[in-house]
Amino acid sequence: MTDSSPRQAIMFADVSGSSALYKHVGNSQAKAIIEEALQFMTALTIVQDGLVVKTIGDEVMARFADCNQACETAVAIQQRCAKEPQLKDLGIRIGIAFGEVLLTAQDVFGDTVNDAAFVTRIARANQIVLIQSVVDELAPQLQQDCQMFDRVQLKGDQEKTLIYRLQWESKSLRHRATQVVHLHEVTQYVETFQLQLRQGERDILLLPEQMPYHIGRDPHKSQLVVENDLASREHCHIDFRRGKYVLVDHSTNGTYVCSDQQEPIYLRREELPLQGSGVISLGQPRNHNHHWLIHYHL
């Protein structure tokens, strides 16, 4: 089901140069650094009332009802990278567009999304690039920190449009971002409420505001698609209730939850709070479908 074309600010924040990072510091350390970057980008989005739509490799896609909140988030992300010793050499490229979008329960579509992705590719490491429609919506204090950057032809447009660089290093923005969010509060929030999932080579970091999180074979209704014949199209979802992540099964073949702390539990049209670490297996016991196992950690 889609919404009727609301106007949203779409932000992509991409970790640039990750391939060089893996070569420079090694696989384990590079993976840990990138995961930390994804974590704080997600948390900073949430404290600014944004919604993380999804993470794609080394990139976060988010949406906001307000362009000012999107830009404040982008500034906070860049400033966090500049301040943290382990992150200071990690370049983040950010692009933001504003306009009508098509919303589903799990994703966002439309020209505005394409425009945001386009200007993100134009941005260099440590830059924030905005299209004209974003700048038009900004408060005067943010507008004064926008500098004309280039004139480009967005995908599908016949004429070129101005794009801008948001100069996040300015004194006014340094002061504003410091007031907006305290980094130790963000870190504490992530450490307390983060749910980590791993399926195959895919690592997923989730927070309560991203619930419910749907799992199944249907790519239109599931954030985590599992192409296993024994998985239902809408197999199960994870919800957050009263401080706990809860797995809710609504499948034909059921779900097996193998916690590190207890014997495997079989759920069919039932639910179970997730605790500690363990494995979720869709449709059959753990030892029969190792490729599609979903590992979780709280």
How high is the pLDDT of residue 289? 57
pLDDT for 2: 47
CB distance 98 to 116 below 8 Å: no
Calpha distance 40→183 (Å, rounded): 9
Q: Where in the chain is the domain with CATH 3.30.70.1230?
A: 7-188
**Tokens 């059959």, residue located:** 284
SS3 call for 17: coil
For 150, list phi and psi in degrees, rounded to 5: -170, 170
CATH hierarchy code of domain 7-188: 3.30.70.1230
Is 185 strand, coil or helix?
Answer: helix
- Under a CB-based contact definition with an 8 Å cutoff, are residues 69 and 9 in contact? yes
Which residue matches tokens 């097996």? Answer: 256
Q: Which two tokens stand for residue 78?
A: 């860049």
pLDDT value of residue 81: 83
Topology of the domain covering 194-297 = Tumour Suppressor Smad4 (2.60.200)
**What stretch(es) of the chain map to CATH 2.60.200.20?**
194-297
Distance, CA of 33 to CA of 43 (rounded, Å): 16
CA distance 33 to 276: 23
Fill in the DSSP letter of residue 124.
P
**Judging by DSSP bridges, how do beta strands 108-109 and 236-241 pair with one another?**
unpaired
Q: Are 222 and 197 in contact (CB under 8 A)?
A: no
Q: 86 forms bridges with which residues in the sheet?
A: none
**3-class DSSP state of 121:** helix
Q: What are phi and psi of 106, to 5 degrees?
A: -120, -10
Biggest CA-to-CA distance, the chain? 63
Burial of 71 (0-12, 13-18, 19+ CB in 10 A): buried
| pLDDT digits (tens), the chain, 298 positions | 444 568 999 999 998 877 777 777 778 888 888 888 888 898 899 888 899 998 888 899 999 999 999 999 999 999 888 877 766 667 899 999 999 999 887 789 999 999 999 999 999 888 999 999 999 999 998 998 998 888 788 877 767 788 899 998 865 555 554 444 555 555 565 667 789 999 888 888 888 778 889 999 999 899 999 988 899 999 999 988 767 899 999 999 999 999 876 789 999 999 999 989 999 999 988 775 577 899 999 8
